[in-house]
Structure 1
Amino acid sequence: MYEMKPEYYTGIEAIDQEHSRLFDMAQETQDLLGDNLLYDKTEKLNSLISELIDYTKTHFAHEEDYMRSIRYAGIDGHMALHRRFEDSLMQFDPDSLEDREKQDEIAEKLLGFLITWLIDHIQRVDMVYANSVRQ
């Protein structure tokens, strides 16, 4: 359900591969939501959130290095958006995952946040620097 589509490809292979992994994490979150046999999702949710935090930091560092390499003029604003995403992601409180009744709600919020941000960011922000290379 959540996967890279042609309109999400920047044409920069390394960046596209990392975006693809982020879509995979969104799909893993969706799969966890649909797993009605798993009574306590605390461990899996913690793992997903932790991996997402680590992976986005790595991805953002790669993307920012790339923007520096092409001397992208809009890098400061782009980096500010990355920091806001990281700050928002840190709002997912691991302690709240202990409440099994709220786990699906938290997973839904995480999924909605991730997929909305990812699609919007790729199409409206990442494509700007990707297109600047092609000009």
Structure 2
Amino acid sequence: MASNSTFSVIGSDVTIKGDITATADLHVDGTIEGDIKCASIVQGESSTIKGGVTAETARMSGKVIGSITAKELVVLKTAKIDGDVHYDALTIEQGAQVDGRFAPNASHKASAPTPALPTPSEPAKKGAEPLIAG
């Protein structure tokens, strides 16, 4: 692939068995049996992906058997996804089929620190009444 190429097309007559890693944007109309890692992916309606998809942005409209991880994910009405979906921003058209779990990416999960137990600021005084929760 030329260094100035920013878009790659996998035609409907192409079947790839193996993982794909690309810095370019991908348009997939064929069949892929393997994991895909790329900047952006657009999946055609007749396309099938059997493997995980990891991308900054993903627009899925075909069949995916595997997990999808994307910052911005659009699942079109013709999509059939069998796997878990991880996202930062998610759009799903009415009619899309997803058999899996949806979860925000780990970076979005609240990472609030566990509150520490309060420590007394001064030592207990002799003869003080104990606190009883009730």
TM over 0.5: no
Radius of gyration: which is bigger? Answer: 2
Q: Which structure carries more helix by proportion? A: 1
Normalised by the size of structure 2, how large is the TM-score? 0.21
Task: Tell me the TM-score normalized by structure 1.
Answer: 0.21
Compare the two structures and name the one with the higher strand fraction. Answer: 2
Instruction: State the structure with bigger RCO (CA 8 A, min sep 6), 1 or 2.
Output: 1
